[in-house]
Amino acid sequence: MIFTKDDLDPTTVQTIHCSTCSTCLVLELSKFEQIIEDIEIKIEQLPILICPSCDKKYLPQETRLFLKWVVKEGKKKSETKFYSPKHSLDKRYNFCENVNFLYEATDYNYIPGLMRPWNDGALTPVFFKKTVLQKFLSDDDYTVTLGSNTYGTIYHPHGYISFGINRNRKVIAWLKDLDKLPIEEQHYFRSFNVKSDHDICSQFYDAQIEVKWPVHSQERLLLMKKEEFEKGCKQYFQLKISRYSDDIDEILEKIQRPVLWNEKNVMFVINSLNKITTESFNSIRIKEEIKKLDSNFKTNGLGSLKLLQKLIQLKFPELNAEEIMKPFFVLNDFRLVLDHRIDNPKKILDSCYRRMGISENKNLETLYDALFKEITDSFTQLNGKFS
Ligand SMILES: [Zn+2]
C-alpha cells in the first residue's frame, strides 16, 4: 500500500487501534518501498503497524519521524535513492541488568503509547510462555487475581506484578515491574522468557496504557467484582480464596453473553462460570479458616459452597450468608440440568426459577440474567466488608 501525506505526518497521533475496524494492531518489521518527495526509499525491514483483521497498515510515530529525517538528509545531499536493509533498535535498558531477559527496544519505541523519555525502557514488554503462571496458580505462597482473560496480577510475598495475555497466549510483563522482583523470581521468569511476537493486544495494555476499560457488560462486571473479592480475601485475611488451573484464561474467555439462546450455547457459559466459582473455591484453605474460628465445626464431606457459606457466617455474622450463597447453589443446579446429569431435570429447573424469583418469562435468558445479577450482588455485598 502507498502511504498518504497524512499517514506520513509525524505530528498526528497514532494509536494501537485500526481506524477502519478498531482491531488492535500488531507491530511488524516489514518491507517499505515508496517515493516520497522525489526520493525512492526502500527499506527491507521497517517497523510498521498492521491490522490483523483488515490488513490495513499504519506507520508508528517514530517511523514517520525516521522517514522525515531520510527525506531531509536526502534533499540536503541531493540524493534520489535511499536503501536500508533494516531499521530497528538493539538497545538494552537499565532494568534487570543481572538477568539477561529477551526483549526488543523496537517494541518500546514503536508500539504506540509505551515511550517514557523520563524513564527510558520502563514499559518495554517482555514475553513469556503461558506456563510461567503455573507456579503462581498452584503455590499457596502466591495469589493470582484475574480481571479478565487477558489481564491479571500475581501477588507474591514481596509485592505484586501485573501481566497481560496476548492473542498468541503469551504472557506479557513490563521490564520495570520485573526489575522490582527478587532476583530469584527474575531468574524463574527468565526460564520461561521467549522472543517478542510484537503483539501487545490485551486488557493489560488497555488498562495500563490507554486507561480504558471496555464497556462494562454484566459478564465483565461479575468478573471484576469476583477479582475484588479475591483481592480483599488476600489483603484482609491472607486467604487465597480461589485456586485456578492453568487453562483459566481460556475458561474466562468463554464467559461472554450467548448470541443464540439455545441449551448448548448457554451451557458453555454456565459451565465456565461454575468452573471459576464453585469449582475454584479453595476448599482446603477455607476449611483451615473455619477451624481457626470454630474448632468444633465438622467440615467433613462438605462441598466448597457449603464451606464458604459457613466461613461467611463466622467472619461476617451480620450478613445473610445463606442468601449470599443462594445464586451459587442455583448456578450449580442449572449446570447439572444443562449437562443432563440428573434424573429429574424439570423439577430442578423449576426450583432454579423459583429460587431466583422468576415466575413469568421462564426461559434460559431470564435465568441466565438473574444468575449473573445475583452473583455480582453477592460479591458486591462481601466486598463491602473490605472497605
Ligand atoms: Zn482493521
Give per-residue pLDDT as tens, 304-344.
999 999 999 999 999 999 999 999 999 999 999 998 878 88
CA of 55 to the centre of ligand 1 (A): 6
CA of 28 to the centre of ligand 1 (A): 15
CA of 377 to the centre of ligand 1 (A): 37
Which sign, positive or negative, has the C-alpha torsion 144, 146, 150, 152?
Answer: negative
Give me the residue spans of the domains in the chain. Answer: 5-86, 89-214, 254-387
CA of 382 to the centre of ligand 1 (A): 42
Q: Which tens digits make up the pLDDT trace of 210-261?
A: 776 555 678 888 988 998 999 999 988 899 999 888 788 888 878 888 877 8
The count of residues in the chain is: 387
SS3 sequence of the chain: CCCCHHHHCCCCCCCCECCCCCCECEEEEEEEEEEECCEEEEEEEEEEEECCCCCCEECCHHHHHHHHHHHHHHHHCCCCEEEEEECCCCCCCCCCCCCCCCCCHHHHHHCCCCCCHHHCCCCCEEEECHHHHHHHHHCCCCEEEEEECCEEEEEECCEEEEEEECCCCCEEEEHHHHHCCCHHHHHHHHCCEECCCCCCCCHHHHHHHHCCCCCCCHHHHHHHHHHHHHHHHHHHHCCCCECCCCCHHHHHHCCCCCCCCCHHHHHHHHHHHHHHCCCCECHHHHHHHHHHHCCCCCCCCCCHHHHHHHHHHHHCCCCCHHHHHHHHHHHHHHHHHHCCCCCCHHHHHHHHHHHCCCCCCCCHHHHHHHHHHHHHHHHHHHHHHHC
CA of 254 to the centre of ligand 1 (A): 24
CA of 215 to the centre of ligand 1 (A): 20
Q: Which backbone phi and psi does 186 adopt, to 5 degrees?
A: -60, -40
Instruction: Supply the pLDDT for residue 318.
Output: 96
167 Cβ neighbours under 8 A, 6+ residues apart: 24, 52, 199, 201, 202
CA of 165 to the centre of ligand 1 (A): 21
CA of 63 to the centre of ligand 1 (A): 20
Instruction: Supply the pLDDT for residue 274.
Output: 94
Q: Which tens digits make up the pLDDT trace of 126-141?
A: 999 999 998 998 888 8
Instruction: Supply the pLDDT for residue 118.
Output: 82
Instruction: Supply the pLDDT for residue 51.
Output: 96
CA of 10 to the centre of ligand 1 (A): 21
CA of 128 to the centre of ligand 1 (A): 27
CA of 105 to the centre of ligand 1 (A): 25
CA of 17 to the centre of ligand 1 (A): 8
Rounded CA Rg of the chain: 26
CA of 57 to the centre of ligand 1 (A): 8
CA of 24 to the centre of ligand 1 (A): 8
CA of 147 to the centre of ligand 1 (A): 26
CA of 117 to the centre of ligand 1 (A): 30
Q: For the chain, list residues with pLDDT below 70.
A: 212-216
CA of 20 to the centre of ligand 1 (A): 5
CA of 21 to the centre of ligand 1 (A): 4
CA of 23 to the centre of ligand 1 (A): 5
- CATH number of 5-86, picked from 3.30.1330.30, 3.90.1150.10, 3.40.50.1390, 3.10.20.860: 3.10.20.860
CA of 175 to the centre of ligand 1 (A): 29
Q: Which backbone phi and psi does 195 adopt, to 5 degrees?
A: -65, 150
Cell (9 digits) for 127: 514475553
CA of 25 to the centre of ligand 1 (A): 8
Q: Is the full-model pTM beyond 0.85?
A: no
Instruction: Supply the pLDDT for residue 216.
Output: 67
Pairing of strands 57-58, 151-156: unpaired
Angle at 52 between CA 47 and CA 58, to 5 degrees: 40
Burial class (CB in 10 A: 0-12, 13-18, 19+), 297: middle
CA of 50 to the centre of ligand 1 (A): 8
